[in-house]
Amino acid sequence: MKNNLNYTGQIVALLSFVIGTCLIAFYLYLGENYISLGFAISMVVITIIVNSILFITITIAAIFKRINQNEALKTCGLMLLNIPISILYFYMVIMFPNQNFL
């Protein structure tokens, strides 16, 4: 059975990726008229807070050997993969402001 903390971290990382990808896809496809940048930014801030708290919790639990360190390393790596993807999405919003690709 998987550790609940690692499993939660993996699910949160996957959900963060899916929500971010949907937001950028809608923004690029429909434009800012349909997807408010304020809504998207607030979602990003909430995601950063949740991911940071979970990342720190998993790291501390792994340091004190409350969970399997290999599993914790994999989960933290999965969570950290969202950072370059987020930077790419931010770059796309900056490079293609108010455009839709219909």
Please state the domain extents for the chain: 4-95
| Cα dihedral sign, 80-5-58-40 | positive
**Contact, 27 vs 35, CB < 8 A?**
yes
Q: How far apart are CA 90 and CA 80, in angstroms?
A: 16
CB crowding 19-32: b at 16 or more within 10 Å, else e: ebeebbeebbeebe
Which pLDDT tens digit goes with each residue over 67-76?
A: 888 888 899 9
The more confidently predicted of residues 45 and 99 is 45
Which pLDDT tens digit goes with each residue over 74-92?
A: 999 999 998 899 888 888 8
